[in-house]
Structure 1
Amino acid sequence: MFTGIVECIGTVLDNNPYDDTESGGQGTTITIGNCECILSDCHIGDSIAVNGICLTVVAFETDTFKVGISPETIKRTNVASWTKGAKVNLERAVSQDVRFGGHYVQGHIDTVAKIVSREPEGNSIIFGFQLRDQEYFKYIVEKGFICIDGTSLTVTQVDELSQGGAFYISMIKHTQDNVIMPLKKNGDDVNIEVDLTGKIIEKQIVLTLENQISKKDSTLNTMIARIVEEKVKDYLSK
């Protein structure tokens, strides 16, 4: 679990599509450097969020660590674009003594979004985004949480009428100085994890409705039958 509060910015040192070392396991691995500040308590098997993706440490040194990348991660995220020298946001998994300053972040990326606009507003920047996979747009609500490249942010506006739909966040100066978003340009992709709360509520509603519909004498079916009966009576009385 993570908070979406970026601890430091690392640098991609190597993106190896077929790492045949013992730690690589003949799979895709990425090595991140310039991150000594988050490795003082590191262990093999630890989780570190890299641009919001929960990844497992398979090897590390004083200021570098290596993570394995699954095919599912490559499909869901922008990890394929992490070339040597790319900057990435880093956050360790939370411990019991960490203040929860952001929001509940799993590190499980849902999809990617494209940066479509950036406008200054005072010392803040308003960024606009469009999702690659529109089915996740329903979970993005004004003043709700969203995690973008591992950064916990608040949605300031949702534009459902624009082509493809768009949503916006406002990034204050402090955040600009400590995350990679300002380094990106319009057209670049970012990793998106929508707020888990919306998914949970939707799932519970669907399960409840399915359970109610399947039972003939359920509260829902009884209520629908009563409404239909009243409407039929009203119609026949005219």
Structure 2
Amino acid sequence: MFSGIVEAVGRVRSLRKGEGGARLGVEAPSVVQGVRMGDSIAVNGACVTVVAFGASGFEADLSPETLRRTNLGALGAGDGCNLERAMALGDRLGGHLVTGHVDAVGRLRGRRAEGDSIWLTVEAPEEVMRYVVLKGSVAVDGISLTVAGVEEGAFSVAIIPHTSERTTLTVKADGAPVNLEADLIGKYVEKLLAPHAQAGEAGRGITLETLKAHGYA
């Protein structure tokens, strides 16, 4: 599990692709301190396993599934990537629960400045948007963010200066792919309520009345 609080921005050393997947090399001196073989690290929000490391970086194998469902396959030498080591039991949860299992790849659609913040609009597929709610949580390239606006097929987030300085998000161009992971709580609520909806509320979906009836609102 991760918290969505990026520890450092690493630099891609290499991405060697083959028939069975790819091997990603990342320069990240601060992140590899205390790392061990087999440890989990989130790279742009995608959980990968450390298969080799040294004093200044690590390597991880990327499966074909990871290459299909994330933006890691589009990385090139010198590109920045958001990094977070897996949480230890008892760590503070500074963001929200992030599994590192990317749901889909979205795209940055636009931005505007408001005071010191930058508003970003992210296009997302229905498999993510169904769990996106105003003031809820969403992970974008591994960053825990609060949803500030919702529209058809997209959502907006307000990026504060600290997040801009410590992640790659605001330096990406419009149209750039971003890894998206919807809030885990929403997925479990849907799973728990699905049998009730199928039993007597077919066609209505999950409504506010359904949530109230089962103690979720």
Q: TM-score, with normalisation over the residues of structure 1?
A: 0.81
Equivalent position of 1:190 in the other structure: 178
Q: Does 1:181 align with 2:169?
A: yes
Aligned-residue CA RMSD (Å): 1.4
> Which string of whole-angstrom CA distances, capped at 9 and with x for unpartnered residues, describes residues 182-233 of structure 1?
11011101000000111111111112344x45xxxxxxxxxxxxxxxxxxxx
1:32 aligns with 2:20: no
Q: Which runs of 5+ in 2 are unaligned?
A: 201-217
SS of the residue aligned with 2:166?
coil
Structure 2 counterpart of 1:15: 15
Q: Provide the rounded CA distance (Å) in 2 between the counterparts of 1:79 and 1:96.
A: 28
* 1:136-175 mapped onto 2 (5 Å cutoff): 136-160=128-152, 165-175=153-163
- Runs of 4+ with deviation above 3 angstroms: none
Provide the rounded CA distance (Å) in 2 between the counterparts of 1:194 and 1:146. 5
**One-letter amino acid of the counterpart of residue 46, structure 2:** I
> SS of 2:193's equivalent?
helix
Q: 1:148 deviation in Å? A: 0.3
TM-score by length of 2: 0.89
Shift of 1:36: 1.3
Matches within 5 A, 1:96-135: 96-131=89-124, 133-135=125-127
1:206 and 2:194 equivalent? Answer: yes
- Which structure carries more helix by proportion? 1
CA contact (8 A) 2:105 2:177 kept: yes
5+ unaligned residues in a row in structure 1: which ranges? 20-25, 214-238
Structure 1 counterpart of 2:17, which letter?
Answer: P
CA deviations on 1:19-60 (whole Å, 9 max, x unpaired) are 9xxxxxx64110001x11111110110000000000000000
CA deviation string 1:103-153 (max 9, x = no partner) = 00000000011100110000100000111x323211111000000001000
Aligned length: 200
Distance 1:195 1:15 in 2: 29
Q: Which has the larger radius of gyration?
A: 1
